[in-house]
Structure 1
Amino acid sequence: MFKQKIEELLSVYKKSLNTSNAKLAQSLYTKDGVFMPTEAPSGIGSEGILKSYEFVFSQIHLNIEFFIEEIVVEGNMAFAVTSSKGTVKVHANGVEVPEANRELFVFEKANGEWKIARYMFNKTEPKG
């Protein structure tokens, strides 16, 4: 059951990315959460997370799918290892290119609800 709730959370997170919805992404984090994007400063806390996603979405538009490789739940903490693949459209030049990443999510259950506590990703070589 806990894994299903985390899968649902990741599904909503994917929606926030594919719709460039910074407020939705922010709502999925704990109040002291940390978003650690590649080659950019970390977004720390609710306001920092919102600003980070607003910046990311001002630069690119994502169209990706998540693949869950592992979810481990231990009490009120959990982690997920995922990968994602799709495309990214760069707003500056309108070019759409392949996008592929591997991700690590750390979740915390607060007030009965799973939230993202820490999230980081890095690019992998897009596969044809």
Structure 2
Amino acid sequence: MKIRLMLLAATSLMIASCDTAKENANAVSPEAATSADSAGDEEAIRGQVARWLDLIKAKDAAAIAQMYTEDGAFMPPNAPIGKGHAAIEQNWAGMMATPGFDLNFAPEAIIVSSSGDMALDRGTYRLTVAPDGKEQVDTGKYVVVWRKVEGEWKAAADIINSDLPPGGG
């Protein structure tokens, strides 16, 4: 009788552990869930980058400014920091008014925080202007810190700096 009870207990434990293993196999680990969310967030940010580039082509400084958080900051080279939508719009409008203005940029890396509410976008840009009728090209790098606001990714801080030596030449 004791052997039968022991076998019954052992069998019950084995069945219970099999059910637990099956549940664990079907469960999504926190790391996998974060990875899936992170990939979706990265895609959303890439979508924002594409939208931004379209707005640059359209020279729509007002819409570009709305891509920033309320307290966002734009830090272009050789110009004062633009804080808030009005100043950011003014900075972008001034840049885009330069004759021959053309800007393209591309992320090299987008890293989403584990909390899923902030991200880092690091990349390169190519800027062309012709203020005196002669085309000038600048290449450089940028960093945008994105923050998720009410489910939408917005630029909280945006800094650009040139690869050219001081003096532009």
- TM-score (norm: length of structure 1): 0.86
Counterpart CA distance in 1 for 2:101 and 2:57 is 5
Pairing 1:79–2:120 present: yes
Letter in 1 for 2:128: V
User: Which residue is equivalent to 1:51?
Assistant: 90
Q: Whose strand fraction is larger, Structure 1's or Structure 2's?
A: 1
Counterpart CA distance in 1 for 2:98 and 2:128 is 10
Q: Shift of the alpha carbon at 1:94? A: 2.1
Counterpart CA distance in 2 for 1:30 and 1:61 is 29
Q: Which runs of 5+ in 2 are unaligned?
A: 1-39, 165-169
- Contact kept in structure 1, 2:69 and 2:156, CA below 8 Å: yes
* Percent identical: 25
- Structure 2 counterpart SS, 1:59: coil
| Cα RMSD, aligned residues only | 1.6
Report the more deviating stretch, 25-34 or 54-63. Answer: 54-63
User: Which residue is equivalent to 2:62?
Assistant: 23
User: Which residue is equivalent to 2:129?
Assistant: 89
Q: Whose helix fraction is larger, Structure 1's or Structure 2's?
A: 2
- Contact kept in structure 2, 1:18 and 1:62, CA below 8 Å: no
Q: Shift of the alpha carbon at 1:61? A: 4.1
- TM-score (norm: length of structure 2): 0.67
User: Which residue is equivalent to 1:115?
Assistant: 154
Q: Shift of the alpha carbon at 1:42? A: 0.6
Counterpart CA distance in 1 for 2:63 and 2:70 is 14
Q: Shift of the alpha carbon at 1:53? A: 1.1
Q: Shift of the alpha carbon at 1:31? A: 0.9
- Structure 2 counterpart SS, 1:101: strand
Q: Shift of the alpha carbon at 1:59? A: 2.5
Pairing 1:106–2:145 present: yes
Pairing 1:65–2:107 present: no
Question: Greater CA radius of gyration, 1 or 2?
Answer: 2
Q: Deviations over 1:83-115 (max 9, x none)?
A: 012x5123x412222221200000000011000
Letter in 1 for 2:117: N
Counterpart CA distance in 2 for 1:7 and 1:60 is 28
- Contact kept in structure 2, 1:18 and 1:61, CA below 8 Å: no
- Structure 1 counterpart SS, 2:123: strand
Q: Which runs of 5+ in 1 are unaligned?
A: none
Report the more deviating stretch, 11-20 or 1-10. Answer: 11-20
